[in-house]
Amino acid sequence: MRQAGRILKPYRVLRQRHGSLLTLFKTPELAAEITLMPVDLLGVDAAILFTDLVTPLEALGCELTYAPGPVFARPIRSAADIDGLRNPVPEDDLAYVLEAARLAHDALPPAVPLIGYAGGPFTLATWLVEGGHAKDFPAFRRMIHSNPTLAHRLLNLLSDLIGRFLRAQIEAGAQAVQLFDTSIGLLSPAQFNEFALPYLQRVCRSLAPLNAPVIYFPLAGAQNLSCFGRVGAHVLSLDWRIDLDAAYGLFGDTMPLQGNLDPCALYGSEASITAAAQRILKQGRGRPHIFNLGHGVYPDTPSEKVKLLVDAVHQVVQT
Amino acid sequence: MRQAGRILKPYRVLRQRHGSLLTLFKTPELAAEITLMPVDLLGVDAAILFTDLVTPLEALGCELTYAPGPVFARPIRSAADIDGLRNPVPEDDLAYVLEAARLAHDALPPAVPLIGYAGGPFTLATWLVEGGHAKDFPAFRRMIHSNPTLAHRLLNLLSDLIGRFLRAQIEAGAQAVQLFDTSIGLLSPAQFNEFALPYLQRVCRSLAPLNAPVIYFPLAGAQNLSCFGRVGAHVLSLDWRIDLDAAYGLFGDTMPLQGNLDPCALYGSEASITAAAQRILKQGRGRPHIFNLGHGVYPDTPSEKVKLLVDAVHQVVQT
C-alpha cells in the first residue's frame, strides 16, 4: 500500500524539512527516494510510485493546494468549467511524476517491480467536482442526476487523461499499474454500469498494448463485486470488507486477487498480526494471490508492526 | 428519513432562533414540533423522532458538544474509561427524548405512526471511542484488534442501553423503531458476525415482547447483506447502493424492504425524480415494500423536490 511510507521516520524527516506535500510530489528526486523507502526499510516485494490520486487533475489547469487534504480553488461544476480545462500532455505537464518513476525504477533492485498509480475516472470526477474531500461526495453524484450528459463528458475526458498518464508511467519504467477507485463504493450496480464501468474498460483497453499488469482497487464496493471482473484489469485488489473465499468463489479462482488485510489488524499484538496474515495466506494458498493490506496503513501504526507483518508473510510463503 | 426536517424553512427558523442543536434535541416541545414538520409540510406517511444518533451516549456521562458534528470531550479508550461510565436509566436520564415522543405521538393524526430511533451498538461504539466523526472510524476498529475483550464489554453495555432506550421510546408512544447502523459498512463478514450481529440480536430480542416493528438500516454494508436477515428486525431498510431486486432475490420476497432511492436523485428534474420513484415502486410491487430514501436528504435539496417525490409515490400507490 502506497501510504506505507508515511509511517517511516525518514519520510517524516523529509516531510518536516520540505514543509509542503506538493514539494515532495513535485520534486522527482524526493518522490523517487520516498518510493524506495518501504522496500529498503520494510522489505516489501514491490515499490509503488509516490504520487497523489489528484495529481493529474492539476494538469487540467485546476489550481491545487493541500489544507491538509487536496483542495481545488475552483471546483468543476458546469459545461463552461469543463470547456475551460486544458488538454494536458502527461509527458510535459506531468513530467515530474514520470521523472520520479524513471529514477525509482533505475534505483530499484531488478527483482523489485515498480507499480504506477492513478485514480479511477469516477473517483477523480468526485474530487474535481466536489473541489476537495467531502463525506459521500454529493457534488458529482448530484451531477449524474441533474446533468448526466455533462457527467459523461467529464468522465470521458478523465478516462482519456488517466489512460495517457498510466501509459506514460509504464513507458517511464512502471512494470505494473494500480487503478485506485476510492469513491466507487458510492455507486449502485446501475450507476456503476453507467458511470464507471465503460470508463474503466476504456482505460484498461488503452493500456492493453503495453503488456503491463493492471491492478484494480475498488474501495468499499461489495455491491458491485461481481462486476469488477469486467473492468479489464488483470488483478483485483480487495479491501478488508470482502471475504476472500467469497471473492474466489465468485471469480472461480481464475482472477488473481490482492489485498484484504484490515490495516487496523496492525494495531494488534505480534501474535494476532501473524495469525491474521496466516489466515489470509491460507485462503490464498493454491490460488493466484498477492498479499497486501486492504487499505492504507494508518499514520500512527508502528513501523515495526508493518515490518513484522512483511516478515511473517515471507516466512509462510518461503516454507 | 430523519433529516427531511432540515431542508424545511420552519426548521431553519427554529435552528436560527435557538442557536444550538442540543437545545432543539433537549427541549421536548421543540423536538416534537420538528418531528411533525415533514408530516405537515411534505405529506410523508410516518414521523420519525427528532433526536440524534449519539444522544443516549451523553447519558453515560460523556460530555457532548456539537462543533458542528458531535464531539465527546473524553473518548472512551480504556477499561478505566468504561468503568467510569454511568449506568443510565432512560426514563430519567433521557426523559426529554421520551417526553418529545409522547408530545409528538399525541399531536400526530391517528393514521400517522411515530417511529422511534437509535443507533446500532457497533455504530455507537465507533462514535464513543473515536470521540467524534472520523473517516472510517479507526479508533474502535483498532480496539477490536488490540483489545477485543474490551470491545465486547463496551458493545454489551451499549446494546443494553439501546434496548432499554428503544423500549422506553415505544412505551412513550413510538409505534415502530428504527435501528440506524451508519458505521456497519466498515466490517467484514467475520467482523460483523463477531462484533455486531450478537449485539443487534440482543437489542431485537429485548424489544420482541413489545410487538413494535423494528426497522434495521445498515449503511453501505453490501458485503454483509445476506447476514442482515439474522438481525431479528422486522424490516430491512436499504441504502441506495443495493439493487432492490437482488435484495428481494436474497430474502425470497419474505422480508419487508424499505428505502433504496439515492437522495441525490432529488437533485434531478421533475421527470427524472418521478421516473426514479416509479422504478423503485415497480421493483417493490407485489412484495412487502416501504418507499423511502436510501439515506438522509442533503441539506441543499429544495423542499419542493421532496414534496414532489412524496406526491409521485402517493399517486402511483393509490392507482
Residue B210: inside a domain: yes
Residue B276: inside a domain: no
| B-chain residue closest to A299, CA distance | B138
d(CA B166, CA B171): 9
For the segment B129-141, the average pLDDT, to the nearest whole number, is 97
For the segment B263-275, the average pLDDT, to the nearest whole number, is 97
d(CA A258, CA A260): 7
Q: Which residue among B186, B243, B267 sits closest to A142, beta carbon to beta carbon?
A: B267
A27-66 pLDDT, tens digit per residue, is 999 999 999 999 999 999 999 999 999 999 999 999 999 9
Q: Which residues does chain A have within 8 Å of residue B223's beta carbon, measured at their own beta carbons?
A: 222, 225, 241-243
Q: Which residues does chain A have within 8 Å of residue B142's beta carbon, measured at their own beta carbons?
A: 264, 267, 298
Query: Structure pTM?
Result: 0.97
For the segment B84-112, the average pLDDT, to the nearest whole number, is 97
Q: Which residue among A243, A265, A295 sits closest to B189, beta carbon to beta carbon?
A: A243
| A-chain residue closest to B145, CA distance | A268
pLDDT (0 to 100) of residue A199: 98
B152-206 pLDDT, tens digit per residue, is 999 999 999 999 999 999 999 999 999 999 999 999 999 999 999 999 999 999 9
pLDDT band with cut points at 50, 70 and 90 for residue A127: very high
Cell digits for A149?
450528459
Q: Which residues does chain A have within 8 Å of residue B220's beta carbon, measured at their own beta carbons?
A: 185, 220
The count of domains in chain B is 1
Residue B183: inside a domain: yes
Cell digits for B185?
459498512
pLDDT (0 to 100) of residue B4: 62
Whether A314 shows a pLDDT value over 90: the answer reads yes
B276-300 pLDDT, tens digit per residue, is 999 999 999 999 999 999 999 999 9
d(CA A241, CA A221): 9
d(CA A16, CA A70): 18
Residue A30: inside a domain: yes
Residue in this structure with the C-alpha cell 472520523, named with its chain if needed: B134
d(CA A65, CA A58): 10
- Do B30 and B24 contact (CB within 8 A), yes or no? yes
User: What's phi and psi for A261, nearest 5 deg?
Assistant: -80, 125
The answer to whether the Cβ–Cβ distance between B146 and A269 falls below 8 Å is yes
Burial B171-195 (b: 16+ CB within 10 A, else e): bbbbbbbbbbbbbbbbbbbebbebb
- Chain A contact for B212 (CB, 8 A cutoff): no
A113: domain range?
2-233
The answer to whether the Cβ–Cβ distance between B243 and A223 falls below 8 Å is yes
A145-157 pLDDT, tens digit per residue, is 999 999 999 999 9
- Chain A contact for B222 (CB, 8 A cutoff): yes
Residue B45: inside a domain: yes
Q: Is the peptide bond before B75 cis (omega within 30 degrees of 0)?
A: no
Residue A294: inside a domain: no
Whether A232 shows a pLDDT value over 80: the answer reads yes
d(CA B291, CA B293): 7
Q: Which CATH number does the domain housing residue B183 bear?
A: 3.20.20.210
- Determine the straight-line distance between the first and last CA of chain A, rounded to whole angstroms: 24
CA A198 centroid distance within chain: 19
- Chain B contact for A238 (CB, 8 A cutoff): no
pLDDT band with cut points at 50, 70 and 90 for residue B231: very high
Residue B255: inside a domain: no
d(CA A56, CA B20): 42
Whether B319 shows a pLDDT value over 60: the answer reads yes
A101-123 pLDDT, tens digit per residue, is 999 999 999 999 999 999 999 99
Q: Which residue among B189, B242, B264 sits closest to A145, beta carbon to beta carbon?
A: B264
Which among B250, B261, B251 is positioned nearest to B290, based on CA atoms? B261
SS3 letters across chain A? CHHHHHHCHHHHHHHHHHCCHHHHHHCHHHHHHHHHHHHHHHCCCCEECCCCCCHHHHCCCCCEEECCCEEECCCCCCHHHHHCCCCCCHHHHCHHHHHHHHHHHHHCCCCCCEEEEEECHHHHHHHHHHCECCCCCHHHHHHHHHCHHHHHHHHHHHHHHHHHHHHHHHHCCCCEEEEEECCHHHCCHHHHHHHCHHHHHHHHHHHHHHCCCEEEEECCCHHHHHHHHHCCCCEEEECCCCCHHHHHHHHCCCCCEEEEECHHHHHCCHHHHHHHHHHHHHHHCCCCEEEEECCCCCCCCCHHHHHHHHHHHHHHHHC
Instruction: Indicate which of B182, B192, B238, B241 best probes the interface with A, i.e. most A CBs within 10 Å of its own CB.
Output: B241
| A-chain residue closest to B225, CA distance | A223
Residue B19: inside a domain: yes
Q: Which residues does chain B have within 8 Å of residue A183's beta carbon, measured at their own beta carbons?
A: none
CB contacts < 8 A, A to B, total: 80
